Chains A and B, each alone.
Chain A
Amino acid sequence: MQIYLPIADLPVNVFVILAMGLAVGFISGMFGIGGGFLMTPLLIFLGISPAVAVASVTGHIAASSMSGAISYWHRRAIDLALAFMLLAGGIIGTAFGVWLFTTLRAIGQLDITIGVSYILLLGIVGALMVAESVSAILRARQGKPVELRRPGSHTWIHGLPLKLRFKRSRIYVSAIPVWGIGFIIGFVGAVMGIGGGFLLVPMLIYVLRVPTATVIGTSMVLTLVTMASATVMHAAVNHLVDALLALFLMVGGVIGAQFGARAGQKMSGERLRLLLGLLVLAVGIRFAVNLVVPPETLYSVRVMDGDI
């Protein structure tokens, strides 16, 4: 069934959009990530302009995270205090990211920056996650106890001042790395147009030693707030949010996220991290191939719809 999208200005097949929402929603519910780094390229592939795709995906991510966050809330798997502290750093990071975005666009270096940072970020994060989870799985196979939390192994991060106790996560850390992580997520999200969940989850696990039980729910709360405000900002500044497109993505997304969250709970933490690592790595390689392999057509045309 074809339907004409009012802001994207083209007809799409409703079932294709619903299915895409469902698939990305499943992944986002399973890993506690927004899935923007998957959905935006898919929409662009359908012929939707990158600006409309980025702006409309924010609504879809907000809905998926809301649905996921509620189910984690019922399981008491959200650390609201931690989410709030991350958000404080995130807002400042977003402001810096928007500033860099504008500057890079002004000097014409935005495309290459986004391309290279996608490859570096996805490649490094994906490779680290795969390596770590494989070694964890191997250790478990050999009968050694899985060391998810190493209470004795304090790093320099735990020596920082301004210590706060996050009861739900049962961690006692300085506020500085929490703000720092929030800042990085906000910054990267604004420059690269992604929610940053796939970065946040490993950082919370490895740097702050947040237990796997609360990490996904907390990440979802953060994604919900940042993406809902991004929807409003995109609509207010660029007028590029396609509500109809967002609605179809959302309906598919929230259903997928429900099943994804359930599938995620059944799986062991290491296996979950291995799968997410492979996924991130695959998208990173896809971007790298795009940049390295000679393109079929050297030329491309973009309509400037008042956004410059």
Chain B
Amino acid sequence: MTRVPLAALAAAFGAIIASAAPVAAERLVASLSNHRVMITSNFVGEELVLFGGIEQDAASRPRRADYDIIVTVTGPRQTMVTFRKERILGLWVNADSRVLENAPAYLAVLSNRPLDAVTNTETLRRLQLGLDNIPLLQRASVNIADAASDDPFRLAFIKIKTEQGLYREVSNGVTFLAPALFRASIQLPAEVPVGTYEVDVRLFADGVQIARTPAPFEVYKSGFEQVVTAAAREHGVLYGLATAMMAIATGWFASVVFRRD
């Protein structure tokens, strides 16, 4: 039960440390190839490209080591349930479950080299970086708790999401084009839900976070897809009647077309 405030405290503390360390005067700028991803009837997924540069002003000290970049893309939040099957009276049935409140529907962690090479495990955990360290609130029955990173339900959830292409950790997802210029490719599968996606770009040097910048984008439906979705949401009865009429008309039309006499 005490894990949540502790984790929050740790995160807040981490943010304070990060912002209160202006000794390194690097500035991070990032821009996406597209800020509005449109879902149309021929949408089969999309690749977004994030370009970023590291600016050093006059106050910059000589660089100690190569820069590292970790980009975290977090999709809209959904409530999801993980079920586990067990054998009961010889039958395999969903016997146990965990509800995940507000878990990201999409999550991509991109970096230029493996996360544990960028910085130490403690920092990764504190900054909630990587699939092992993202906070996932699981509810068994009454008590909500951030699942331990080796919780079987949590591991199974991340595995399934990874197989669907919705969760990914790519250790070569960020490429440095020049020492202070990088690009990252964000793969969105066709199943991505609509909503706002947070993109969090963090700059590391010597295992320490020295700059951070957001670059959000939005996924939305347009045209026909949008009209249908809005009609189904807002005018459910009319939409249902229209679909039923369409069914009857289609059936009638077919019998006219195929009538032999």
A binds B: yes
A63, B247: Cβ atoms closer than 8 Å = yes
Residue-by-residue, is A114-129 near B (CB-CB < 8 Å gives 1, otherwise 0)?
0110000000000000
Given contacts A6-B224, A299-B157, contact A239 B236 (CB under 8 A): yes
B-binding segment of A153-161, A188-196, A287-295: A287-295
Interface centre among A66, A235, A237, A299 (most CB of B within 10 A): A299
Is B40 at the interface (CB under 8 A from chain A)?
yes
B199, chain A: closest CB distance, angstroms: 22
Is B153 at the interface (CB under 8 A from chain A)?
yes
Which residues from chain A contact B91 at a C-beta distance below 8 Å?
112, 115-116, 291-292
Is A53 at the interface (CB under 8 A from chain B)?
no
Which residues from chain A contact B156 at a C-beta distance below 8 Å?
297-299, 301
Which residues from chain A contact B248 at a C-beta distance below 8 Å?
62-63, 66, 224, 228
Is A141 at the interface (CB under 8 A from chain B)?
no
A59, B247: Cβ atoms closer than 8 Å = yes
A66, B190: Cβ atoms closer than 8 Å = no
B220, chain A: closest CB distance, angstroms: 12
Is B79 at the interface (CB under 8 A from chain A)?
yes
Is A98 at the interface (CB under 8 A from chain B)?
no
- Interface of chain A residues 92 through 125 with chain B (CB within 8 A): 111-112, 115-116
Interface centre among A2, A250, A297 (most CB of B within 10 A): A250
How many chain A residues sit at the interface, stated as a range, is 35 or more
Is A172 at the interface (CB under 8 A from chain B)?
no
Which residues from chain B contact A62 at a C-beta distance below 8 Å?
244, 247-248, 251
State the main secondary structure of chain A at its contact with B. helix
A3, B254: Cβ atoms closer than 8 Å = no
Is A247 at the interface (CB under 8 A from chain B)?
yes
A-binding segment of B21-29, B121-129, B226-234: B226-234
- Interface of chain A residues 280 through 308 with chain B (CB within 8 A): 290-295, 297-305
Which residues from chain B contact A301 at a C-beta distance below 8 Å?
80-83, 156-157, 160-161
A76, chain B: closest CB distance, angstroms: 13
B250, A251: Cβ atoms closer than 8 Å = yes
Which residues from chain A contact B259 at a C-beta distance below 8 Å?
71, 74
A224 vs B226: C-alpha distance when bound (angstroms): 29
A246, B247: Cβ atoms closer than 8 Å = yes
Which residues from chain A contact B157 at a C-beta distance below 8 Å?
299, 301
A232, B237: Cβ atoms closer than 8 Å = yes
Q: How many residues of B contact A (CB 8 A)?
A: 62
B228, A243: Cβ atoms closer than 8 Å = yes
B-binding segment of A36-44, A174-182, A254-262: A254-262
Interface centre among B42, B94, B261 (most CB of A within 10 A): B94
B251, A67: Cβ atoms closer than 8 Å = yes
A280, chain B: closest CB distance, angstroms: 20
Contact of B41 among A4, A251, A304 (CB under 8 A): A4
A224 vs B224: C-alpha distance when bound (angstroms): 28
B160 closest partner in A (C-beta): A301
A63 vs B255: C-alpha distance when bound (angstroms): 11
Residue-by-residue, is A57-76 near B (CB-CB < 8 Å gives 1, otherwise 0)?
00110111111111100100
A57, chain B: closest CB distance, angstroms: 11
- Interface of chain B residues 81 through 97 with chain A (CB within 8 A): 81-88, 90-94
25 contacts between A and B (CB under 8 A): A4-B43, A6-B221, A7-B228, A7-B232, A11-B44, A11-B190, A59-B244, A59-B246, A60-B247, A66-B247, A71-B255, A112-B93, A112-B94, A115-B91, A228-B244, A232-B240, A291-B92, A291-B93, A292-B92, A298-B85, A300-B160, A301-B81, A303-B79, A303-B80, A304-B81
User: 8 closest pairs, A vs B, by CB?
Assistant: A66-B251, A235-B240, A254-B254, A299-B156, A232-B240, A67-B251, A70-B255, A63-B247
